[in-house]
Amino acid sequence: MKLAILDRDGVINYDSDAFIKHPDEWIALPGSLDAIARLSQAGWRVVVASNQSGIARGLFSMDTLNAIHAKLRREVAQAGGAIDAIFVCPHGPDDGCECRKPKPGLFTDISRRYDIDIKGMPAVGDSLRDLQAASAAGCAPWLVMTGKGRKTHASGGLPAGTQTRQDLAAVVDALLTEE
């Protein structure tokens, strides 16, 4: 099975320091929906793994998050692709859970759900914690320069083997070329 794991904010859509709290605030980054569609059409399963501490912080409800994700799925479908599943950590930074990136719990859940070894599978993020979680789970970390990516890259300390690309479309170009 070909599986790509994507962070949401800063990879698929514009990020906000004030959180994405409503479907109207969820705006796809240029080229990201088409990139996901190209993966889907090439037989890849696309999964989202995202920290969503806005729930724990009381900034939005699970119903609102579901509405945001319905918009994401709808727009990806309109581009000709599909999001196979969305895994979220609803906890706050101090909750001590195992699912909040940089811990690999979301990736462990993905592996369990699909009953596959995710070692070496691409995981795309824009923050160090995305890459650390991917690396801890044995995935191949990819950093995009969108969202917090430039700042993450400039800060250094990236996990060994991290590949860097301009955006999700460039990651997909590389993945489809490797096939």
Q: Is 7 noted as a catalytic residue in this protein?
A: yes
Residue listed under structure tokens 């799925």: 73
**What tokens does 1 get?**
């099975």
Which of 7, 15, 126, 167 is catalytic? The answer is: 7
Which of 9, 126, 130, 167 is catalytic? The answer is: 9
Give how far Cα 98 sits from Cα of 36, 104, 117, 126, Å.
28, 7, 19, 20
The answer to whether 36 and 83 are in contact (CB under 8 A) is yes
Distance (Å, whole) CA 30 – CA 14: 9
| Residue 78 DSSP one-character state | H
Encoded amino acid at 90, one letter: P
Q: Is 9 noted as a catalytic residue in this protein?
A: yes
Distance (Å, whole) CA 108 – CA 137: 7
The answer to whether 159 and 135 are in contact (CB under 8 A) is yes
Residues involved in catalysis? 7, 9
